[in-house]
Structure 1
Amino acid sequence: MKHLILLIKLSLLMLVTACGVQPGSKDPADFEAEITALTQEILAMDASVDPQEAARAARISVEYPLQLRRDWNVTDPAIIHNTKVNAGLRDMGLCYQWADALQARLAQENFQTLIMHRAIANADNIRLEHSTVILGAQGETLQEGIILDPWRYGGTLFWAPLLEDTRYEWIDRQEVFEYKRLNGRLPGA
């Protein structure tokens, strides 16, 4: 019976998200242009950003999620893949796992002019809660950064200045955790 219910849920999700972007639907030739554009956006954040750091951060942010997509066998739109992870059919691929992995990979670079923030959207709705990485220039706030969201399109990076993302309202992850602690919504609260 559990499998029948899961099958029905997956079928409904496929119908609802049929217009969603499939992982890997972007032409690979476009990735170099994407890396170049992201590099320019990172450099535009602040004159103090090192061009080599910007280029490395952009390349990693675009290419590493593609590797994760292969490693995690992501073949469906994000919401369907989430259902598979939650049902035990896939091991990895929830939004916080994408964000954790990308943040860890970027942290290996020991950037001196760039900083990473973490943000959560829809924290008041656990079924729709979404995590991401925000890249900023050293000393700048989360709101001045660029969203690096590999989950949204299943490994094809979505990026934009935070204030231009009309799909989500991002809040600093620590603020969300503190709110949840105060309201008894985190373990150990």
Structure 2
Amino acid sequence: MRQLLFSAFVALGLAGCGGAPVEHTVPQTLAFAQVEAEETKIAELTEMLLRLGPGVDLEEAARVARIAVEEPLVWARQWGVVDAPIIHNMQVNSGRKPRGLCKHWAEDLQQRLKRENLQSLDLHRAIANYDSILIEHSTLIVSAKGASWDQGIVVDPWRLGQGQLYFTQVKKDPKYRWLERSQVFAIKRERKARKAEREARSGQG
């Protein structure tokens, strides 16, 4: 099935996937091996998206996979991403590079996919390491329409560096344990409120 999907999505890619065009043109100088690797990754992600449920549309899954693989490569060039993710983070935080933090990849990919008006897939945001000494990490998750976020697939252009997409099932992520972003924000608001209350009581004393 994978070989069949691969062949189908190469054809879909050349035809623009039959939907809104991906704003990315593969440079003529790009080696065929790299193009083939990208097409393989697109086919693998499409297959994973289809496994999310019987209601996932094939053309829509193929379109999401192509955008998720190709668009971050464009952003990597625009943002000057040439170093490892942590090094690039330092450059962004120091003002030397414009974008490229994990939240930037997640935000831009979410906004790009929203433009596709997806009917069989949902988009979610999640955060890991919010409560540890490790660096907090944000990502985008794609699930079947109406399904819980934790039943979806992590699509993370930050992790491998230079816009190379990493993807895996949420519950099988070997590196991160995710929480829905709204839940993390709620926890942080509650902690901030408790801290303010303690400080207010301390000031009154």
TM range (shorter): 0.7 to 0.9
How many angstroms does 1:56 deviate by? Answer: 0.3
Greater share of residues in helix: 2
Query: Which deviations, in whole Å up to 9, do the C-alpha atoms of 1:117-150 show, x marking residues without a partner?
Result: 1000001147600000000001111111000000
**What's the TM-score, normalizing by structure 2?**
0.76
How many angstroms does 1:29 deviate by? Answer: 2.3
Q: Which amino acid aligns with 1:172?
A: E
Unmatched runs of 5 consecutive residues or more in structure 2: 1-32, 198-205
Structure showing greater Rg: 2
Unmatched runs of 5 consecutive residues or more in structure 1: 1-25
Matches of 1:92 and 1:126 in 2, distance apart? 23
Change (3 A) 1:120 1:31: same
Q: Which amino acid aligns with 1:29?
A: E
Higher RCO, Cα 8 Å, sep 6+: 1
Secondary structure at the counterpart of residue 68 of structure 1 = helix
Secondary structure at the counterpart of residue 66 of structure 2 = helix
User: Quick one: which of 87, 97, 103 aligns to 1:90?
Assistant: 97
**Which residue of the partner structure matches residue 30 of structure 1?**
37
User: Quick one: which of 167, 172, 179 aligns to 2:187?
Assistant: 179
Number of equivalences: 162
- Identity of counterpart residues, as a percentage? 46
Q: Which runs of 4+ in 1 moved over 4 A?
A: none
Matches within 5 A, 1:24-173: 27-125=34-132, 128-154=135-161, 155-173=163-181
Secondary structure at the counterpart of residue 111 of structure 1 = coil
**What's the TM-score, normalizing by structure 1?**
0.82
How many angstroms does 1:27 deviate by? Answer: 3.2
